[in-house]
Each structure stands twice: as C-alpha cells, then as structure tokens.
C-alpha cells in the first residue's frame, strides 16, 4: 500500500442529509490528488443514520476510517478524536462535514505546505449565515484578537491543513477544554492564511446552537487570555485611586470652602476605598489561580522548530 500523506478529518453530527454528497465530493477530490489520502470520519454521537452510513462505507472502502464516539462530545472533541487517528505522514486537513468548506482546496493547501508552511488556515472572506450570527462572529473575533495573549487570526475556523508535527504537538496538549483554532496558532511555526468564500451548508441544519457557540467562545477567551483576571486588578487599583482623589477633594473643600456636608463623606470614602481593596485582592487571588491553571493545563513549555548543532541540522527527537 502506498504511504498515506494527508488524512482528512471530518466530524459528523446528525449529517445523514449531507452524507452522500460529502462522500461524493471527497472521493472525487482524493481520486485526483497526486498524493495518497485517507479520510477519517468521526461520528459525534449522532442520533440519525450517520454512524450506520459511516460503518457501511468504511467496511467497503479502505480509504475511509470511521471513529465512532460513544455519545455527543461536541465538535472540538470530535476533531480531537480524529486527530488521534491521523496516519498521514505529512499531516492532516480538518474540514466540516456540511460542505461549507470546499474539500477541493486540498491541492492548494498541500502545495503551500510543500513551500514550507506548517499550518495553512482558511480565512472566511464572507459568510452565508444570518445577520445576527455574522455580527456576533464579527465582534467575537475582534475582541478575542484584542485580548488574547498572542495573535489568533480573525475569521479563521478549524478548516485548515496542519503538518505532522503540528498534529503531534496538538495531540500532546492535554487540555480538557479544547479550542483547536487557538491551539493551532499557539503551536507556532510558519503559518499561512488562505482566503476563501465560505459556502452555505449543503443540507440539514446547523449543529451549533447558541449555547454551543458561547461555550466555544468562552474557551477561546479563557484558554488564551489573562485579560479577564488582570482587568480586575486594574479596576481595583483604579477604584483605590478614585477614593484617594475623592478624599483629597473633601479635605480641600473642608479647608478652603468649609462646606463639607456632615456625616456621609467618610462613609462614601470608606465604601469606595474598600471596594477597591476587595477588587485588588480578588485580582491578586486571580493571579494565583491563573498560575495554577497554567500549571495544570500542562502545555509543552516550548516547541522546537530545528536544532543546528556541530554545524549540522539535528533531528529534534
Ligand atoms: N459537529 C459535531 N458535533 C457537534 C456539533 C457539530 O461533530 O456537537 C460537526 C458538524 O457535523 C459539522 C461541523 O461540526 O460537520 C460544523 O458544525 P456546523 O456546520 O453545524 O456548524 P456551523 O457551520 O453552523 O458553525
Ligand atoms: Mg456548518
């Protein structure tokens, strides 16, 4: 058997309506590539015929591997499961199962990888979703980019091709709440944006409820940003500063104008001051929590591109 170069990872949750079309498009694509591909279909606990269809297909066509999860684990974990079974020696392509991401782009992605990129990620030029969703995505991606600890590209989803070493590194990241597009950027190496038009879902309904979207967004923010905790400390400092200004203002008024109302100025001052102290304390505890979080998340401390030793490039392992 020829060596598998690229594994195409496709998560599927209740996608019976689009399944045949999907397999037809993907089959056409892998028949034409000049490198060998396998396709990993993950059933994410579908309640429809999807697992049955996957099993049937994988039993008769060896290029397809089925990974059937015990229940619905969510998109990110379904892809994670798929990435664990990647046999492609050069890497994997991650695509949605509803044909919003054209599988035909595999050739373009692959040739960019040949040019030395480790990650080619697709960026949506336009979306064909409801205006409300578009707006929510617009705000979210910009907010995320502003506050994350390193740059996570705007408007890029999981649709991408990643090299073998990126697959391996992501598989070695044991974090429980997974935000793959963030992890993919975090890994580093040379990454390339590829603009494309996102198609409409070919059949069936979106499997991402608002609840699932919010969960994803939360992971995107809290897994890659210290900002929410740091803002508390800053707010605390600001409040304490405010109380000092207020105090000075009262003293000034007392000495110069003699018209300070009796009784409640001390009260207000105390309330502002101690609100500030409490916020600051919360922020400080938050700092420790952040450190604990970083430690237990157990991401690799560094990722090596190459080592040049004794005048020669060394294999990193
Ligand atoms: N998906 C999944 N598990 C889920 C939700 C979605 O495996 O719990 C899959 C789904 O079958 C599709 C992909 O993830 O292949 C993207 O989902 P969807 O198209 O519904 O999301 P949208 O494009 O609307 O954001
Ligand atoms: Mg979709």
SS3 state at 244:
helix
Domain spans of the chain, in order of start: 6-225+300-314, 227-297
In 3D space, the residue among 162, 178, 164, 179 whose CA is nearest the CA of residue 121 turns out to be: 162
Asked if 165 and 291 count as a contact pair (C-beta separation under 8 A), the reply is no
As a three-state string, the secondary structure of 81-116 is HHHHCCCCCCEEEECCCCCCCCHHHHHHHHHHHHCC
User: At 35, is the secondary structure helix, strand, or coil?
Assistant: coil
From 286, 272, 270, select the one nearest 233 (Cα to Cα): 286
Phi, psi of 237 (to 5 degrees): -60, -45
pLDDT tens for residues 164-190?
Answer: 999 999 999 999 999 999 999 999 999
Q: What is the pLDDT of residues 257-269, one digit of tens each?
A: 887 777 788 888 8
Read off the tokens for 216.
Answer: 């994803």
Q: Residues with beta carbon inside 6 Å of ligand 1? A: 11-13, 15, 44, 72, 74-75, 78, 96-98, 100, 201, 206-208
Average pLDDT, the chain: 92
- Among 15, 11, 7, which residue's Cα sits nearest to residue 202? 15
50 alpha carbon – ligand 2 mean position (Å)? 16
| Rounded alpha-carbon distances, angstroms, from residue 125 to 97, 154, 156 | 20, 11, 10
Q: What's 6-225+300-314's CATH class?
A: alpha beta
Residues sharing a CB contact under 8 Å with residue 69, sequence separation 6 or more, in sequence order: 42, 43, 44, 45, 77, 78, 81
Report the percentage of the chain scoring pLDDT > 70.
99
Q: Is the pLDDT of residue 235 over 80?
A: yes
User: Which one of 23, 181, 207 would you pick to mutate in the ligand 1 pocket, going by the greatest count of ligand atoms within 8 A of its CB?
Assistant: 207
- CA–centroid distance, residue 261 to ligand 2 (Å): 63
3, 88 Cβ separation under 8 angstroms: no
DSSP 8-state class, residue 122: E
Segment 240-252 mean pLDDT? 91
| Interval 115-141: pLDDT, tens | 999 999 999 888 777 888 888 888 998
Q: Model confidence at 316, in pLDDT bands (50, 70, 90)?
A: low
Predicted-complex ipTM score: 0.96
Cα of 121 vs centre of ligand 2, distance in Å, is 16
- DSSP readout, 259-313? -PPTTHHHHHHHHHHHHHHHHHHHHHHHHHHHHHHHHHHT--S---S-EEETTEE
* CA 42 to ligand 1: nearest atom: 7
Q: Between these two residues, 155 and 273, which has the higher pLDDT value?
A: 273
Ligand 1: atom nearest CA of 100 is: 23
pLDDT of residue 74 exceeding 80, the answer is: yes
Q: Is 183 exposed, middle or buried (0-12, 13-18, 19+ CB in 10 A)?
A: buried
pTM to 2 decimal places: 0.87
Query: Residue 151: pLDDT above 80?
Result: yes
123 touches 105 (CB < 8 A): no
> 52 C-alpha to center of ligand 1: Å?
18
Query: Which atom from ligand 1 is nearest to the alpha carbon of 79?
Result: 7
Spacing, Cα 3 to ligand 1 middle (Å)? 30
Helices (H), the chain: 16-32, 50-60, 75-84, 106-114, 131-147, 164-172, 180-187, 210-222, 227-252, 264-297
């Amino acid at each position: 058997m020829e060596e598998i170069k690229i594994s195409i990872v496709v998560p599927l949750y209740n996608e019976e309506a689009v399944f045949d079309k999907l397999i037809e498009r993907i089959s056409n694509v892998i028949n034409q590539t000049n490198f060998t591909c396998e396709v990993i279909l993950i059933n994410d606990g579908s309640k429809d015929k999807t697992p049955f269809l996957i099993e049937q297909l994988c039993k008769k066509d060896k290029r397809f591997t089925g990974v059937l999860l015990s229940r619905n684990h969510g998109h990110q974990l379904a892809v994670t499961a798929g990435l664990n079974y990647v046999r492609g020696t050069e890497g994997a392509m991650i695509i949605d199962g509803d044909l919003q991401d054209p599988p035909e782009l595999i050739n373009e992605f692959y040739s960019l990888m040949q040019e030395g990129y480790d990650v080619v990620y697709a960026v949506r030029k336009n979306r064909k979703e409801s205006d409300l969703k578009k707006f929510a995505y617009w705000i979210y991606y910009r907010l995320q980019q502003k506050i994350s600890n390193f740059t996570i590209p705007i408007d890029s989803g999981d649709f991408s091709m990643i090299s073998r070493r990126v697959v391996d590194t992501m598989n070695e990241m044991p974090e429980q709440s997974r935000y793959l597009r963030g992890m993919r950027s975090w890994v580093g190496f040379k990454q390339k944006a590829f603009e494309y038009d996102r198609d409409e879902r070919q059949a069936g309904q979106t499997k991402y409820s608002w609840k699932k979207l919010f969960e994803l967004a939360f992971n995107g923010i809290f897994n890659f940003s210290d900002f929410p905790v740091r803002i508390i400390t800053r707010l605390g400092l600001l409040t304490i500063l405010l109380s000092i200004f207020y105090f000075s203002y009262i003293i000034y008024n007392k000495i110069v104008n003699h018209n300070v109302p009796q009784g409640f100025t001390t009260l207000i001052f105390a309330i502002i001051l101690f609100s500030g102290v409490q916020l600051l304390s919360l922020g400080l505890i938050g700092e420790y929590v952040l450190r604990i979080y970083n430690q237990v998340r157990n991401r690799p401390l560094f990722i090596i591109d190459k080592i040049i030793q004794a005048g020669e490039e060394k294999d990193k392992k």
